[in-house]
Structure 1
Amino acid sequence: MKIETLKQRLKKERPMKSVTLRIPEDVVEDLKEIAPLLGFSGYQPLIRAYIGQGLRQDLEKLEQNNFLELIDSLKRQGVEEKVINNALAEITATLP
């Protein structure tokens, strides 16, 4: 995930939108029970955390797939593996 996107997502005062979601009653009861044990003020923040966690994992997978497709495309176009490896080393050296 891009750093700027991540910074935006970490802001506490992001705009919110109400949605209606049908969830089985027993699941809601379990969420209400476990939320305070995990340090959440209620079950709705816990649901948001679960959704956010799953979304971040899926976005990371998609970004990784796009990244791997780019590397494969560069190889097919004749870019030497040494050049690709040097570029990857340069990029990863600048990551936090």
Structure 2
Amino acid sequence: MKVEKLRQRLDRNRPMTSVTIHMPEDVVEDLKRVAPLLGFSGYQPLIRAYVGQCLRVDLERLESETVTALVASLKRKGVSDALIDEALGEIVRTATI
């Protein structure tokens, strides 16, 4: 994830939108019980945390699968492993700056 995008995700004052979701009552009760034990002010922030965690995992997995597919495609088209490794190294160095 790019640094600027990460900064935006960590901004506590970013715009919010309301979402309505139907959940079983027992799940909501469990969320209300667990939230303060995990340090959350209520069950809604806990739900946001759960959604955010799972979303980041899925985004990382999908981005990784895309890169893997791209590398395989480049190899099929005759691009050398050395050139692919050089390009991937360049991307990693740029992403960490």
Normalising by structure 2, report the TM-score: 0.89
The whole-number CA distance in structure 1 between the counterparts of 2:63 and 2:5 is: 13
Residue equivalent to 2:56: 56
After superposition, give the CA deviation of every residue in 1:1-57 in whole Å (9 maximum; x if it has no partner): 222222111100011111111111110111011101111000000000000111111
Residue equivalent to 1:20: 20
Give the number of the structure with larger relative contact order, counting CA–CA contacts within 8 Å between residues 6 or more apart.
Answer: 2
Residue equivalent to 2:11: 11
Offset at residue 89 of structure 1 (A): 2.9
The whole-number CA distance in structure 2 between the counterparts of 1:8 and 1:95 is: 16
Over the matched positions of the two proteins, sequence identity in percent amounts to: 62
In structure 1, list runs of 5 or more residues that go unmatched.
none
The whole-number CA distance in structure 2 between the counterparts of 1:17 and 1:86 is: 42
Q: How does 1:1-96 map to 2 (within 5 A)?
A: 1-96=1-96
Normalising by structure 1, report the TM-score: 0.90
In structure 2, list runs of 5 or more residues that go unmatched.
none
